[in-house]
Structure 1
């Protein structure tokens, strides 16, 4: 088992989007009428898992359209709230190519949730054998604001229901291969159907926590993301991450947007 941490661009946001804050501003996470001193750059991450049963990509980062057609790709509302940056060579297509891979080589693309910075690059991997997201997330993305449906237009996405598993704040998710090596764990709150990924490396767990928290300080200090669809559920998901991070069999917990996480490869050592 081998996990590649990939930075597929970065995003310029108001810090209140990453770390919920009390403010007289009604919507501080939008960044509207807030100074540059309140803005931060954070990475947009994807993960490639080399598993004995196939190649799995977690999230897709920014589309190459972000380089030259950013406002059109995001839409005016999203563009007014955040900006993206995608250096040459950093798109998921370019990074796969650097590894000698094409999108058709991917057995599964897992989308932790359907916010733009996680699905923007979907078109680059549309030839993967299977693209999956949770049924709850798929339904929310077609009923609630905060999603850009054009990013998955004409792309075949399959959905999965949750069942009982021994992990997570709701003990709901799926055992991806039925062999206890990868669990998709329902960690709602930031979005309704968001999942975190538990990856078994040797006898220990690596947690890919998506946007349950934006960085390690989120669960260390219990700071919720600035946007939540269910504050209570978001707190319970973050509390579960905090508790899991303290387990003896936890290698590491990685948040998608943590600026202290650098591209790397995590694998079992002899």
Structure 2
């Protein structure tokens, strides 16, 4: 996370019905924009999946043969974006059926993930009252109150909770991402489970309407440049970063799994799993450029070990 802007204050705020107190960063005088980070459980993966580098192959990156002792637990995050135009949730994290009783549950996870093979790559847990639906409900926000749910990409720790959002306005998934996830092949059959989204009637498979970003593909969500979904291909074909820009030109960048932490773009370390390593590196170079821009208030991955619940107002 970066904080390049001036006139920044840091406070603590109690949210919901006195449920919890979180740190709040306010930049400038505020223009009605905010990004709230929710840590919604954890995922256990091989370090090579997160920081394997451009020469890491898919077998090593998957961690399929990596023991639990040699794995790392990382946070799984969702982000609530508030703008004058409406509410946007970025990613849904884990469904409650991953941990029905709020504890690690091997059998439940295999069922939720759709296969034992994917369980071998990603183990997860989400504690009591920690799914994104439960976190939002504690603040009085229901899925029907969300104008959009943006899915950065269709990996399990981002899309497993999709069914919790069946009453949201629209679930935005890039058409490129869906086509890439549903192509034939053993890797796709293991990596992406259609049971997470099949039958949902509010899914919008959008096509790019702009040319921002490293691939020249983007989608302007509200039509005014305030929330841009920017294609950062590599880890998956249709992976998007969400760039939230206020009227003063200050922005927050959510780059999902374009890198697994700030050190990814600082040291140019791509993740160990990619459909296109060259595109992945170009995307990370773009993330680095955006993160170092003086107008960038914060630049956040989805699984940075440093993540805690917080709010940024700008």
The answer to whether TM tops 0.5 is yes
Residue 125 of structure 2 is matched in structure 1 by: 85
> Does residue 29 of the first structure (1) align with residue 65 of the second (2)?
no
Residues 54, 277 of structure 2: 8 Å contact kept: no
Distance 1:26 1:58, change over 3 A: closer
Moved more, 197-206 or 93-102: 197-206
> Does residue 162 of the first structure (1) align with residue 208 of the second (2)?
yes
Distance 1:22 1:127, change over 3 A: closer
Residue 67 of structure 1 is matched in structure 2 by: 99
**1:25 offset after TM fit, Å?**
8.3
Distance in 2, Cα, partners of 1:55 & 1:222: 32
Distance 1:171 1:153, change over 3 A: same
**1:23 offset after TM fit, Å?**
8.5
Distance 1:25 1:187, change over 3 A: closer
**1:76 offset after TM fit, Å?**
0.8
Identify the match of residue 233 of structure 1 among 265, 272, 279.
279
Q: Which has the higher contact order (CA 8 A, sep 6+)?
A: 2
Structure 1: runs of 5+ lacking an equivalent: none
> Does residue 127 of the first structure (1) align with residue 127 of the second (2)?
no
Residue 193 of structure 1 is matched in structure 2 by: 238
1:216-238 residue CA offsets vs partner (Å, 9 max, x unmatched) = 11111111111100111000000
1:47-67 residue CA offsets vs partner (Å, 9 max, x unmatched) = 111111111111100000111
Q: 2:234 aligns to what SS in structure 1?
A: coil
Residue 16 of structure 1 is matched in structure 2 by: 48
Distance 1:33 1:164, change over 3 A: closer
Residues 57, 273 of structure 2: 8 Å contact kept: no
Residue 221 of structure 2 is matched in structure 1 by: 176
TM-score with structure 1 setting the length = 0.94
Distance 1:128 1:232, change over 3 A: same
Residue 204 of structure 1 is matched in structure 2 by: 250
Residues 39, 307 of structure 2: 8 Å contact kept: no
**1:26 offset after TM fit, Å?**
7.0
TM-score with structure 2 setting the length = 0.81
**1:22 offset after TM fit, Å?**
8.1
Residue 244 of structure 1 is matched in structure 2 by: 290
Aligned length: 267
Q: What root-mean-square deviation, in Å, do the aligned CA atoms of Structure 1 and Structure 2 show?
A: 1.7
